[in-house]
Amino acid sequence: MPVVVILPNNNSNNNSNSNHNDNNNNNKEGPPDEKLYEYIVEFKSTVDVDKKVKYLEQIHKGVVKYKYKHAVKGYVCKMSKHTIGVLLEDKDVLHIERDGIVNIAIHEPEKITIEEKKSGGEVNSNLLFGEQWNQTITNAVPKLTDDFSSIDCYIVDTGILPTHQEFYPGQVVLGLNAITNAFNSQDNNGHGTAVASVVAGINVGIAVKTSLIAVKVLGQNGSGYYSDVIQGLDWIVATRNRNNPSIINMSLGGCKSTTLNNAVQNCITNGITVVVAAGNSGSDASNYSPSSTGNALTVSAHDINKTRPSWANYGSVVDFFAPGVSITSAWFTSPTSYSQLSGTSLASPIACGIAVRFLATGNYSPYQVKEYFTKNDIYGEIINQGSNSPNQRVYLNTSPIPCVCP
């Protein structure tokens, strides 16, 4: 019998753009004063989701918010305990879990430093590693001949400001806004724009001209819900251009969710590389999602001294470390504004950018991308890497990246 997983709502932040309200409902299956929470129901992969939704709506008067057909099979619905009990008897149900909160993986976001840099001016970056740390990325990474536009990179985040000077005209596509179920995924928080610029910005990015697709799953305060994130992943699997290599960056996280992890894994099974932030709780990343997804590239952070900050998550699910302290990135307040941010949110897109550079050299699977990092990373230099963490940090090879995988 499937198990109901109750995700604790232990975060006081609520997404102001979300309609997830724990209001009373006229569903006749529960007591009149029973609060009805939204639950995510995951079915076996062979299930006809439309038939399951029709049954729920007709028999149990449930109102379905989302139907998932691609990353996972399932739906999201407010339901009573009675309805949950009935669904638990359905042999096609794999999991039922209460919807939970996810947040951006930024450490102390209130300490963001904002500055304006006019187009054409030098933008100093702390993205670089080793002796190059204090150089500008423009001088360290070949830019003029770089063109990674054949790679589709999905930024699952707060949206992107497409008019920022870090992006070429047409480089950013505003994809799904899962919060409103529309296609206006402009950034009103800043986090998604920062992350996108670290992947592919003209001055501060690793892989210039990468095709960026904004998938907005987090609201103005940087919070959202698992159901929105899964909806974003479902849309990616359904609509991606299978002729182009695809990669997803997820600089977000929350408590562990079986269905979210399954959705991430199914993206990987569908040939999409997924890079995720390890999180900033200073604890084992295996307790959180999506960082606990086994085949994702889970990235923790180190500082300029190659030391893991106390807030950076660790553990056996971490694949490697990348710079994540005082990283210069684009900001959303104007086309010329920049920020300096710290968090595994910034380490993840650095790794994502390096993965894009590798994907541009051949048609590689997510498993071959992971093997590339294993063979090309630097070992033995991370200080205080944390229990069971690999002592392994990413290396940005500025010469043409060799094809090391069969």
Three-class secondary structure of residue 207 per DSSP:
coil
Q: Among 95, 107, 191, 302, which one carries the catalytic annotation?
A: 191
Residue 191 known to be catalytic: yes
Sign of CA dihedral 83, 85, 88, 91: negative
Q: Among 152, 157, 234, 377, which one carries the catalytic annotation?
A: 157
Locus of tokens 């929470």: 37
Phi-psi label, residue 16: left if phi above 0, alpha if psi -120 to 50, beta otherwise:
alpha
| Long-range CB contacts (within 8 A, 24+) of 131-134 | 133/304, 133/323
Q: Among 257, 345, 348, 389, which one carries the catalytic annotation?
A: 345
Angle at 293 between CA 287 and CA 296, to 5 degrees: 135
Residue 248 contacts residue 273 (beta carbons within 8 Å)? yes
Three-class secondary structure of residue 289 per DSSP:
strand
Strand 223-225: give its sheet, edge to edge.
223-225, 101-104, 252-255, 288-289
Residue 345 known to be catalytic: yes
Locus of tokens 């423009």: 138
* Cα 380 to Cα 372: distance, rounded to the nearest angstrom: 18
Residue 82 known to be catalytic: no
Residues recognised as catalytic? 157, 191, 345
